[in-house]
């Protein structure tokens, strides 16, 4: 052990304490003698003064401002894959060695710079702007985060997989034999007795698009659905995977990591924003927001985008306008003491965010602190007249009559006997803008579907397209042609939901003093639309959906979306893998439309299943089902494996997993499925595509290697927290290191292409891609796809300029120029090169606002106080309808049983919470220059609790939940709320080098287990005790993983 | 600047902007002659602690740029969880403190070097020639900031160079280039129009351990005086273990 490293860890351990940061003189006495005799006694460095630092990438003439490039190095703009934010970066590499020297930010990219440098800026000027020239490199700095700086080490990691592998011996034995790609593809496609364990069905046999996989339940779809393709998500290659999965192979079952990442927030946001298809979501406009509440999100500590939020929050709390609070069970890096009163930590009891939000709601409604002007506009015409950009359904009437056939639905024009010919209100004079808005709306909704409101002035029922405000509160009957019907306005329903508990009760539940809640509610409603509440992964408890819905409805109450200083749903992106302006990358000849029920039982109405009908016909109750059906969730990766192992709704036969590591990342997954995954009889074929061996793919039958980091192709839009249009390009700025097949690097794409070609699937091979003239082009290599996506981006709207010869050179795009010219049309090549040279396409920061409004406003739907889809959907466990408005729910199991009834506080006095690391992510532990800074995650415990248990920092404690148990080092903190145990994500690996694997005749190097440092909260994840078979605990409504706020107990070891 | 901030910053060791300039133009205090660099400049760094998010991008980018041995650092950000004993009702805070060589105007590391391997340039940058250095460690012990260490590979003294190999060709130090929050501002305090000079004018900056009279040239904005010297705190975690509680070996 070196003292330097350990001392350093002291400093960053967040414990308070150590001052030393590099006490490296432990051995000096001995070395002094050597040095005196021999001069320098150690290894010689490149420079006597600058040690091993490489020569700079360019040099500036201070007088002329002229920049001279270092001909031995190359700086290129591409995309980082160090976490899921995927920032634009500049990669500096050494042309001689081919090694990357350092990575920083791409100045054109809004996630790495603020403001991003104008897109039309010549690249040499962009480089110059990063230097001391006029000191422009200070404000104009473009950064990578700590992780982004280090992850280039993954490229040369000794744990990287370079060859296709086939397991030797039983699953999980850690022994692999290299195999050629064509042999691997042949085995996977044709099946056979591949492991001497009996016959394995190949992909060709599985892909049966005609026969139902279960004749008794034909709605489950064809046998082809028995292949599942899963990925960690978002690496800019998802569209390619979906092309193969949905439309080429034709299985329904594609799943991404969202359900164990932050889906509870997405679902809650989608409910509030009226978008339960894509689950629209937003972030505050940090630069103009005056007051922010962050609850379950932590700008500067984590989140997506991590780095941009960090930069903006640092600016906002100093030179900027925002004061903010962070409501969290534990203090995190959003807090900054030096910024003093401009930020504050408000501790909360885990899993009670909904109580805090409903208390805020109650106070805001009772004290009329909501934006009545916004909320009372029932539709687009009234909103336009009132000068509101948006409208909500706060005033819309909901049928609440028990037993009514349409109970839970909005009262519609058709219920009132109104029609197109007989509208509720005459359409008077309209200006063209209003007429357009009305007609667009009517075309979308249909006049018969118009919502019904009470006119605020006359009290008469009207269609919501009325050009006047409507009454916000009503509870009573309304006369309809079919008799009186009991109705309430949406806001009335929210008010009643908020009144289910008193302010005192809410305060007791969430542990935040009533006075603090009221002050925050007052402050939140004191800045007009320039305030925002933001949430994210902290919602991932069993009640996450309603917590998030409640929290995000606070934004609706102040009508802040699309306003400068309010909330933004993002700036959008340019079409890439789309029916774009040059190529149609969505549709192709022979494409399959996948059919049937997702294995996660999502989005399919249970009452339309054969099971429901059978049970009804047999005179039985159709409830409960063996496992919940999720009426408005997307395919949930959290349910894929457990559904398969339970055989409900059906079983899989094969799994292809790209960089998907649920056994590590999904709470409780290891306990639920690890043993079963070892049995090849149960899930017969498992092919992984990954650069590394992970906790999950260690059980794979085959591993296909892949490009790592800046070696691969990809296109992605920014996820959130940005105001201007942006599409990030990733392209191989250096030669991929893994093996090649027929001259092409073996990648995810090549594997899928070869499988598709072997099987004769549509959408790959010759004539797979078409342009708008009907000409066709091949898809034989990754760049056949991604370069055409780039052409779509380059030609979207006003096409980008052509790149100059000089910029091809200085950007390093010269490396891929042969592929560009070979693949694309002459008129496309230089525009596509222009885009790659800048690392993507980015709208200029000057385009963020139009007056007081955001240029890119959220317009997909109106804002929902009451979400009808939620309000009419039922739990298939209880058979009861969900609440259509936000409501406080304690943590519950799937049948609504409060968690505390099963796991009482007396037995489980602690709550274990997870939080995202600002340094480590799922794979990053392998980067030693990162891990040297932060290589361990002691478990945080409140100082008072520690005192009671006689625990000091450094003591070993056993942490147990009903789902698991582990040993952790305690870190006694004042910044952890009482009763809370904090787990930083990214540690506790058992693979990724923590266990050396045998690859052919080589054993991977030993890391002495250091890569396994620390603990993973997901190893403590619970099953749902109310479900039979294997299960992982999830949100009872939407099925997202419950990975935080777990009941726990500790003992000192 | 807000009044409350000014009140807060009234503390010992406060260094005014005027004093900085005065120090900067003074000839070096007794010791070996400065050589190299250009006396027209005096390089320095301002660190706005209010903008630091503790992300360690500076730490890692320095490590990537300068390639010291794994586990040895030329800069880090110390992070302290602070419970204010004066205001027990106030919530706990995080205090971030980036540290690096102070490139002092009166560097105690230089006079103690028996072979004059470490020296100061005319522009204030303190450097080490590792071909002259004998690794005796006197400078390491003389530095009141623990900014120096014996490089395990070269067996010579090592520390931050302000990335002078970059600065000398018009670029910024790696840590500054990569500072996400914009806390680190590098520049020339002899140029009155530089960004750093403006910050020193605007803010009551502080330095670490002012009582040592080393005249450091890292100037902290938002510094709480209690962090200038040795910080009284709880002992941190030393042993690294896995989820079975097994202690793991050092890489």
Tell me the CATH number at A403: 3.40.228.10
pLDDT at B19: 30
One domain, residues A131 and A272: no
Is B208 within 8 Å of chain A by CB? no
pTM: 0.94
CB spacing of B176 vs A25 below 8 angstroms = no
Predicted interface score ipTM higher than 0.90: yes
One domain, residues A79 and A109: yes
Neighbour-count burial of B12, counting CB atoms closer than 10 A to its CB (0-12 exposed, 13-18 middle, 19+ buried):
exposed
Rounded to whole angstroms, how far apart are CA atoms B23 and A935? 41
One domain, residues A668 and A801: yes
Q: Which among A49, A59, A311 has the least Cβ separation from residue B169?
A: A59
Domain region containing A1036: 892-1052
- Total of domains in chain A: 4
Q: How confident is the model at residue A441 (pLDDT cuts 50, 70, 90)?
A: low
Is residue A188, in this structure, part of any structural domain at all?
A: no
One domain, residues A299 and A422: yes
The domain at B3-223 falls in which architecture? 2-Layer Sandwich (3.30)
One domain, residues A210 and A287: no
Within A625-708, residue ranges assigned H as helices are 637-646, 662-665, 669-677
One domain, residues A32 and A79: no
Nearest to A545 by CA among A1020, A811, A870, A83: A870
* Sign, Cα dihedral of A61, A67, A68, A72: positive
Is residue A619, in this structure, part of any structural domain at all?
A: no
Q: Which among A133, A346, A1008 has the least Cβ separation from residue B170?
A: A133
**To the nearest whole angstrom, how far is the Cα of B26 from the nearest Cα of chain A?**
25
Q: How confident is the model at residue B31 (pLDDT cuts 50, 70, 90)?
A: low
The DSSP result for A106-134, as a single string, is -TT-TTTSSSPPPTTS-HHHHHHTTSSGG
Residues of B in contact with A1014 (CB under 8 A): 240-243
Q: Higher model confidence: residue A124 or residue A43?
A: A124
Task: Provide the residue count of chain B.
Answer: 251
Within A467-560, residue ranges assigned H as helices are 490-498, 503-510, 514-524, 544-558
The rounded mean pLDDT for chain A is 93
Nearest to A890 by CA among A680, A1035, A1052: A1035
**% of chain A at pLDDT higher than 70:** 94
Cβ-proximal residues to A861 (8 Å cutoff; 6+ apart), any chain: A273, A274, A275, A280
CB spacing of A933 vs B176 below 8 angstroms = no
Q: Higher model confidence: residue B1 or residue B239?
A: B239
Is residue A67, in this structure, part of any structural domain at all?
A: yes
One domain, residues A26 and A100: no
Residues of B in contact with A130 (CB under 8 A): 171-172, 177
pLDDT at A60: 96
Nearest to A509 by CA among A363, A345, A355: A355
For the cut 80, the answer to whether the pLDDT of residue A923 exceeds it is yes
pLDDT at A651: 98
What are the b/e assignments for A363-374, b being 16+ CB within 10 Å? bbbeeebbbbeb
One domain, residues A47 and A65: no
Q: How confident is the model at residue B43 (pLDDT cuts 50, 70, 90)?
A: very high
Contact B39, B122 (CB under 8 A): yes
Nearest to A315 by CA among A346, A345, A284, A275: A284
Site of tokens 């403190």: B97
Segment A1014-1018 shows an average pLDDT of 97
Nearest to A254 by CA among A585, A603, A578, A729: A603
Q: How confident is the model at residue A419 (pLDDT cuts 50, 70, 90)?
A: confident
**To the nearest whole angstrom, how far is the Cα of B110 from the nearest Cα of chain A?**
15
For the cut 80, the answer to whether the pLDDT of residue A242 exceeds it is yes
In A388-460, DSSP assigns E strands to 397-399, 452-454
* Sign, Cα dihedral of A564, A517, A551, A491: negative
Question: A669-677 and A637-646 helices cross at what angle (nearest 10)?
Answer: 50
For the cut 60, the answer to whether the pLDDT of residue A219 exceeds it is yes
Q: Which pair of tokens denotes residue A923?
A: 């794979």
Count other C-beta atoms under 10 Å from residue B197's C-beta. Answer: 21
Segment A359-367 shows an average pLDDT of 98
Per the DSSP assignment, residues forming a β-bridge with B104 are none
Rounded to whole angstroms, how far apart are CA atoms A358 and A354? 6
Site of tokens 């306008």: A321
> What's A948-992 look like in SS3?
HCCCCCCCEEEEEECCEEEEEEEEEECCECCCEEEEECCCCCCCC
CB spacing of A972 vs B234 below 8 angstroms = yes
Q: Which among A5, A32, A52 has the least Cβ separation from residue B250?
A: A5
Over the Cα atoms of chain B, what is R_g?
A: 19
Is residue A102, in this structure, part of any structural domain at all?
A: yes
Domain residue spans in chain B? 3-223
CATH number for the domain that contains residue A210: 3.40.50
pLDDT digits (tens, 9 = 90+) for A675-730: 999 999 999 999 999 999 999 999 999 999 999 999 999 999 999 999 999 999 99
HSE-CB at A959 with a 13 A cutoff on CA atoms is 34
Question: A748-759 and A181-190 helices cross at what angle (nearest 10)?
Answer: 50
One domain, residues A216 and A91: yes
Nearest to B189 by CA among B22, B52, B13, B1: B22
Over the Cα atoms of chain A, what is R_g?
A: 29
Lowest mean pLDDT among A7-21, A119-133, A156-170: A7-21
Is B191 within 8 Å of chain A by CB? no
Segment A408-416 shows an average pLDDT of 95
Q: How confident is the model at residue A438 (pLDDT cuts 50, 70, 90)?
A: low
pLDDT at B10: 29
Q: How confident is the model at residue A922 (pLDDT cuts 50, 70, 90)?
A: very high
Q: How confident is the model at residue B235 (pLDDT cuts 50, 70, 90)?
A: low
One domain, residues A469 and A324: yes
Residues of A in contact with B3 (CB under 8 A): none
Residues of B in contact with A294 (CB under 8 A): none
Is residue A184, in this structure, part of any structural domain at all?
A: no
Rounded to whole angstroms, how far apart are CA atoms A997 and A833? 41
Is residue A946, in this structure, part of any structural domain at all?
A: yes
Segment A847-862 shows an average pLDDT of 96
For the cut 70, the answer to whether the pLDDT of residue A28 exceeds it is no
**% of chain A at pLDDT higher than 90:** 91
**To the nearest whole angstrom, how far is the Cα of B165 from the nearest Cα of chain A?**
7
One domain, residues A244 and A290: no
Segment A7-26 shows an average pLDDT of 31
Is A618 within 8 Å of chain B by CB? no
Q: How confident is the model at residue B12 (pLDDT cuts 50, 70, 90)?
A: very low
One domain, residues A311 and A324: yes
Nearest to A126 by CA among A147, A112, A108: A108
Distances (CA, A) of A363 to A367, A495, A522, A953, B67: 6, 10, 9, 41, 56
Is A33 within 8 Å of chain B by CB? no
CB spacing of B235 vs A17 below 8 angstroms = yes
Cβ-proximal residues to A217 (8 Å cutoff; 6+ apart), any chain: A609, A610, A611, A649, A650
Segment B78-96 shows an average pLDDT of 86
For the cut 80, the answer to whether the pLDDT of residue A234 exceeds it is no
For the cut 80, the answer to whether the pLDDT of residue A838 exceeds it is yes
Is residue A704, in this structure, part of any structural domain at all?
A: yes
> What's A154-178 look like in SS3?
HCCCCCCCCCCEEECCCCCCCEEEE
Within B108-207, residue ranges assigned H as helices are 138-142, 164-167, 174-177, 195-202
Is residue A104, in this structure, part of any structural domain at all?
A: yes
């Amino acid at each position: 052990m070196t003292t330097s490293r350990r001392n350093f860890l002291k400093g960053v351990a967040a414990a308070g304490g150590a001052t030393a940061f590099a006490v490296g003189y432990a051995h000096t006495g001995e070395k002094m003698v050597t040095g005196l005799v021999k001069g320098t006694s150690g290894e010689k460095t490149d420079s006597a003064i600058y040690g091993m630092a490489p020569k700079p990438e360019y040099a500036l003439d201070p007088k002329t401002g002229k920049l001279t490039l270092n001909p031995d190095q190359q700086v290129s703009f591409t995309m980082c894959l160090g976490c899921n934010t995927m920032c634009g970066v500049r990669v500096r590499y050494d042309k001689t060695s081919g090694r990357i020297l350092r990575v920083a930010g791409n100045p054109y990219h809004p996630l790495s710079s603020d403001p991003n440098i104008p897109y039309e800026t010549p690249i040499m000027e962009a480089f110059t702007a990063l230097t001391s020239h006029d000191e422009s490199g200070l404000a104009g700095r473009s950064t990578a985060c700590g992780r982004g700086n280090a992850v280039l080490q993954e490229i040369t990691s000794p744990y990287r997989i370079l060859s296709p592998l086939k397991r030797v011996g039983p699953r999980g034995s850690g022994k692999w034999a290299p195999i050629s790609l064509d042999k691997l593809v042949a085995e996977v496609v044709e099946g056979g007795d591949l492991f001497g364990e009996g016959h394995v069905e190949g992909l060709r046999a599985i892909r049966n698009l005609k026969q139902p996989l279960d004749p008794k339940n034909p709605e489950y779809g064809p046998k082809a659905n028995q292949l599942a393709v899963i990925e960690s998500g978002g690496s800019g290659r998802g569209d390619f995977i979906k092309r193969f999965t949905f439309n080429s192979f034709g299985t329904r079952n594609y799943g991404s990591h969202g359900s164990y990442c932050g889906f509870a927030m997405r679902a809650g946001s989608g409910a509030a924003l009226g978008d339960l298809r894509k689950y629209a979501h937003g972030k505050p406009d940090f630069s103009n927001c005056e007051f922010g509440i962050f609850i379950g999100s932590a700008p500067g500590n984590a989140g997506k985008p991590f780095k941009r939020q960090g930069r903006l929050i640092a600016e906002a709390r100093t030179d900027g306008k925002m004061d903010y609070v962070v409501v969290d069970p534990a203090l995190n890096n959003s807090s900054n003491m030096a910024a003093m009163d401009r930020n504050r930590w408000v501790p909360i009891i885990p899993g009670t965010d909904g109580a805090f939000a409903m208390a805020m709601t109650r106070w805001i409604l009772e004290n009329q602190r909501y934006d009545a002007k916004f909320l009372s506009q029932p539709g687009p015409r009234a909103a336009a007249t009132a000068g509101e950009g948006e409208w909500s359904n706060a005033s819309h009437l909901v049928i609440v009559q028990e037993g009514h056939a349409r109970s839970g639905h909005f009262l519609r024009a058709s219920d009132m006997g109104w029609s197109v010919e007989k509208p509720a209100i005459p359409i008077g004079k309209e200006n063209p803008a209003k007429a357009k808005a009305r007609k667009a709306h009517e075309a979308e909704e249909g006049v018969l579907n118009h919502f019904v409101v009470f006119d605020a002035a006359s009290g008469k029922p009207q269609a919501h397209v009325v050009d006047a405000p409507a009454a916000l509160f009503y509870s009573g009957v309304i006369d309809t042609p079919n008799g009186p019907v009991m109705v309430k306005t949406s806001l009335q329903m929210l008010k009643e939901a908020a009144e289910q508990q008193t302010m005192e009760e809410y305060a007791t539940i969430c542990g935040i003093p009533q006075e603090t809640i009221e002050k925050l509610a007052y402050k939140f409603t004191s800045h007009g639309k320039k305030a925002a509440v933001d949430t994210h992964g902290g919602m991932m408890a069993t009640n996450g959906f309603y917590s998030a819905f409640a929290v995000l409805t606070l934004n609706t109450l102040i009508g802040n979306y699309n306003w400068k200083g309010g909330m933004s749903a993002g700036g959008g992106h340019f079409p890439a893998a789309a029916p774009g302006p040059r190529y149609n990358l969505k549709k192709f000849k022979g494409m399959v439309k996948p059919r049937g029920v997702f294995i996660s039982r999502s989005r399919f109405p249970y009452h339309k299943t054969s099971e429901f009908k059978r049970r009804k016909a047999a005179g039985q109750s159709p409830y409960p089902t063996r496992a919940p059906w999720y009426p408005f969730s997307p395919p949930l990766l959290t349910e894929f494996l457990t559904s398969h192992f339970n055989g409900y709704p059906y079983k899989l036969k094969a799994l292809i997993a790209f960089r998907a590591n649920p056994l590590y990342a999904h709470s409780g997954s290891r306990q639920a499925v690890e043993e079963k995954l070892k049995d090849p009889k149960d899930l017969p074929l498992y092919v992984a595509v990954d650069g590394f061996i992970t906790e999950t793919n260690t059980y794979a039958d085959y591993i296909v290697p892949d490009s790592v980091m800046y070696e691969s192709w990809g296109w992605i839009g920014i996820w959130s927290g940005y105001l201007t249009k942006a599409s990030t390009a990733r392209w191989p700025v250096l030669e991929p290191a893994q093996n090649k097949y027929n001259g092409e690097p073996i990648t995810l794409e090549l594997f899928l292409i070869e499988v598709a070609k072997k099987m004769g699937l549509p959408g790959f091979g010759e004539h797979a891609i078409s342009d708008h003239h009907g000409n066709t082009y091949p898809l034989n290599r990754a760049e056949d796809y991604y370069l055409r996506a780039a052409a779509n981006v380059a030609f979207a709207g006003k096409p980008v300029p052509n790149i100059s010869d000089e910029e091809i050179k200085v950007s390093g795009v010269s490396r891929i120029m042969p592929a560009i010219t070979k693949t694309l049309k002459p008129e496309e090549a230089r525009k596509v090169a222009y885009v790659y040279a800048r690392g993507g396409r980015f709208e200029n920061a000057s385009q963020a606002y139009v007056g007081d409004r955001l240029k890119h406003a959220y317009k997909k739907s109106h804002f929902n106080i009451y979400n009808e889809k939620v309000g009419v959907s039922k739990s298939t466990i209880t058979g009861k309808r969900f609440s259509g408005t936000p409501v406080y729910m304690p943590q519950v199991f799937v049948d609504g049983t409060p968690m505390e009834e099963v796991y009482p506080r007396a037995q489980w006095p602690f709550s274990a919470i997870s939080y995202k690391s600002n340094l480590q992510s799922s794979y990053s532990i392998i980067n030693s220059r990162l891990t040297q800074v932060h290589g361990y995650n002691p478990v945080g415990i409140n100082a008072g609790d520690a005192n009671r248990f006689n625990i000091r920092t450094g003591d070993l404690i056993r942490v147990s939940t009903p789902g698991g148990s582990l040993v952790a080092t305690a870190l006694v903190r004042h910044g952890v709320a009482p009763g809370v145990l904090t787990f930083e994500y990214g540690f506790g690996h058992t693979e990724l080098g923590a266990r050396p694997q045998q690859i052919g005749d080589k054993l991977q190097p030993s890391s002495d287990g250091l890569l396994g440092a620390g603990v993973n909260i997901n190893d403590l994840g619970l099953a749902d005790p109310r479900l039979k078979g294997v299960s992982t605990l999830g949100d009872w409504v939407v099925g997202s993983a419950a990975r935080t706020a777990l009941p726990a107990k500790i003992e000192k070891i | 600047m807000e009044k409350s901030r000014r009140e807060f910053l009234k503390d010992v060791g406060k260094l005014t902007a005027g004093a900085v300039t005065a120090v900067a133009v003074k000839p070096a205090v007794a010791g070996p002659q400065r050589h190299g660099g250009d006396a027209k400049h005096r390089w320095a760094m301002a660190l706005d602690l209010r903008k630091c998010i503790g992300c360690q991008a500076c730490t890692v980018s320095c490590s990537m740029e300068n390639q010291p041995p794994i586990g040895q650092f030329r800069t880090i950000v110390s992070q302290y969880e602070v419970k204010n004993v004066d205001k027990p009702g106030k919530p706990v805070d995080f205090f971030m403190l980036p540290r690096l060589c102070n490139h002092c105007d009166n560097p105690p590391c230089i006079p103690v070097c028996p072979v004059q391997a470490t020296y100061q340039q005319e522009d204030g940058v303190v450097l080490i020639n590792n071909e002259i250095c004998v690794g005796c460690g006197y400078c390491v012990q003389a530095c009141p900031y623990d900014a120096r260490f014996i490089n395990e590979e070269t067996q010579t003294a090592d520390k931050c160079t302000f990335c002078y190999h970059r600065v000398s060709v018009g670029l910024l130090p790696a840590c500054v280039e990569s500072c996400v929050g914009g806390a680190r501002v590098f520049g020339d305090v002899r140029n009155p129009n530089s960004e750093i000079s403006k910050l020193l004018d605007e803010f009551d900056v502080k330095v670490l351990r002012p009582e040592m009279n080393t005249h450091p040239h890292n100037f902290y904005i938002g510094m709480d005086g209690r962090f200038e010297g040795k910080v009284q705190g709880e002992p941190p975690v030393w042993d690294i273990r896995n989820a079975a509680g097994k202690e793991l070996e050092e890489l």
